[in-house]
Amino acid sequence: MDYHIYCDESRQTKDRYMVIGGIIIPEENVAVFNQTMEKFRQEENMRAELKWSKVTNQKLSKYLRFVDYFLEQNKTEKLNFHAVIVDNHHVDYKKLGKGDREAGFYKFYYELLLQSFGRHADQDAKFFVYLDYRITNYSLKTLKESLNRGMRRRWGLYTDIIKVIEPRRAKSTNLIQMTDIVLGAIGFQKNGIDLRAGSRQAKIDLAKYIAAFVGLENLKYNTNRQNNRFTIWNFRVS
């Protein structure tokens, strides 16, 4: 089966805990997702980019509807979600990347795609990976080549499963926008922003809503290892 993977990162510079994650969806389901999103945008008059930073008390009901669609698709495994949380206080990105900070940063994309998204790999699968666009001098070709070698070793594959790793603009990609919102909720709770005075109530409520759906008291915790539908992994930096 051909899979599309849409990834993003949240709070990579401003807070202690960075979150990287994404959605994996069978290629045949992408068009249906986008058609449903177009209907949602028309009915809710939400034409602009949807993102965590735009969740307000006035728009909470609209964002809840947006998230509800994601959660329903996730519940029936028409798409899956995986995220990794990284403690920036325990990472020397430059050292990790052998002098290249960007290479160090992409090490965590490597681990996420290999360990979490690799669960969906088999001999017939093909992965087409789309990362939210960011300014970098790091070559995604390098990431692709490293991942294909890693996938072969980790999952016993005979062929290169990663066919594409390319940047995409979130503004024109619904599935990256959805990823942004879920990652935003995870980073919001993991960094304890929900506990700060003056935190936006809509964000508090939306984060709690997502946590309850996935059976967590708080999105700062790891999910059950047996859960392959929605996973959060607190990465241990050795």
pLDDT in tens, 36-52: 999 999 999 999 999 99
User: How far is the C-alpha of 193 from the C-alpha of 104, rounded, in Å?
Assistant: 26
pLDDT bracket for residue 152 (50, 70, 90):
very high
What's the CATH number where 36 sits? 3.30.420
Q: Say if residue 12's pLDDT is above 90.
A: no
Closest CA to 25 of 17, 16, 13, 34: 34
Domain count along the chain: 1
**Mean per-residue pLDDT for 142-160?**
96
The helix (run of H) or strand (run of E) holding residue 202 is: helix 201-213
**Mean per-residue pLDDT for 218-223?**
96
Enter the DSSP assignment of 112: I
| pLDDT of the residue at 227 | 87
160: its two tokens: 């290169």
Task: Give 180's contacts (C-beta < 8 A, 6+ positions apart).
Answer: 8, 10, 50, 51, 52, 132, 170
Segments forming the whole domain that contains residue 89: 2-234
- Sheet arrangement for strand 126-132: 162-168, 126-132, 2-10, 17-26, 80-87, 230-234
Name the pTM for this structure: 0.95
